[in-house]
Homo-oligomer: A and B are copies of this chain.
């Protein structure tokens, strides 16, 4: 670790000879493998980018020259080189830095990024501002082939190409998205790789970019040469480099999908694998359906692993599974088209990424009443990064006319909703997949499919809890504690639907209840509870809306969130007592 140990600044890097850089790359790669093994993280993408990142910082002058990393899940080497080395070499500091670029950490990070396909657009803005100010710096966007499938990347390319000034797009082609790439464009990338960039039919040249191909995307000397050549260019330029995802870890080079992100070594995968999860419940259900019905089709916007669609599922599903790339807009419109022509599409997607398709949910899907099913995974408060908060989908989707949004509290209910959604032909249905499997041990709900009605689970008086989805169980706990502390025997309701009000049930509550408490595993702003507050606005009913705050939580521990947002039985009971005293 000779080079890495002595490296304290970008100036130190620039003092090295090009010939010394491969040794530094080796040391960084070893550090990354060690660190990621210990803490988990994006393995494959970071290992593939070690050489290119060193070469970028060797040739360009950050922060004057500006780098924008797409998704920024490949920025570890960049962090090491820009003053954050100890976060990757010293176990005591492994938790100091996020896994994404973050301007609060360093002036070398331009944006906080975690979603796909944004880098070229952001960089185009930086470049245009430079031009307006009369500046001269280089603007470099670093984007992988997987990210290229997102529409925002395309919109960015189209406009970057029209800039008439310096912008450099480093296209990192490792022949992989998170899972395998799909889509016609990838045939062109393959052709370009095969012809070492000489093929006339060239996706990038069709936009008018200057184009350079680098076969040795993990060869620092090749990279330094081409970067020096394009530095201070006056034209929009694409450098297409071919890298090896997972380079340096044999299994990750071979199994690129599982090598994309790894769990910490200490993580007990066997326990994880054994526990029943909505991942396996969903894929098992879908496979059974598919066997009986060739029109059932599962769609993934390039995140099959995150939604339980393991390679074995995909193999069995065959043409009844489609990965559309990181293209959520297309995914929703595609689902609408499928439903309109008589198929039964199920889109499985992550809450935070569904944000990329708000308009398609409204126009392509809801306005057309296309009976597609959307399963929302990871829609909950979480201790993760600010870029991946799963608390906004309730307000995003429940305020769109025509979407039927359901939140099951238990496994049996989930399966009943899923089955109902697939078999009905009149409305698009969103189902918020709960985070932990709870079985109610009852199949009563399997025959009860009027999900527009709330279910009164425990009938009491004075106080009524409306516990949505995951938080139904919190409502139950709060009810028990309230009984214990005050003697009040509260009503507990599983509302199940969060896009519409069951007015009949709500009106009935007025007779013998004075307080309604809503609980939702998402931001209260614009969410389910506020609709209840509006409904009771002209009455004597008091309403307490509990859920997440309208903030980006950045790796905030769950305990802190539960306390801050009053989401423990104790704090809920306190709030109720205060409300009774007013």
Contact = CB atoms under 8 A, between A and B. Distances in A.
Interface of A: 66, 68, 103, 110-115, 118, 121-133, 149-162, 182-185, 187-188, 200-203, 205-209, 236, 294-295, 297, 319-320, 322, 324-325, 327, 329-330, 333-343, 345, 355-360, 362-364, 367-368, 386-387, 392, 395-396, 398-402, 523-527, 529-531, 533-534, 536-540, 542-545, 550-552, 575, 578-579, 582
A141 to B, nearest CB: 10
Nearest to A295: B132
Contacts of A387: 363, 367
A396 B361 CA distance: 13
A358 B355 contact: yes
Given A294-B133, A297-B128, A386 B367 contact: yes
Q: Top 8 A-B pairs ranked by shortest CB distance?
A: A125-B337, A151-B151, A161-B184, A399-B526, A121-B333, A155-B330, A184-B207, A129-B341
Given A118-B333, A158-B325, A158-B327, A151 B152 contact: yes
A297 to B, nearest CB: 6
26 contacts: A111-B368, A112-B367, A125-B336, A125-B341, A126-B341, A128-B322, A129-B297, A129-B337, A129-B341, A132-B338, A150-B151, A155-B327, A158-B183, A159-B330, A159-B334, A161-B185, A183-B207, A185-B206, A185-B207, A202-B206, A355-B359, A356-B359, A357-B359, A367-B387, A537-B542, A538-B544
A337 B121 contact: yes
B401 A552 contact: yes
A545 B550 contact: no
A535 to B, nearest CB: 9
Contacts of A130: 341
A363 B113 contact: yes
A17 to B, nearest CB: 33
A355 B362 CA distance: 9
A522 B396 CA distance: 15
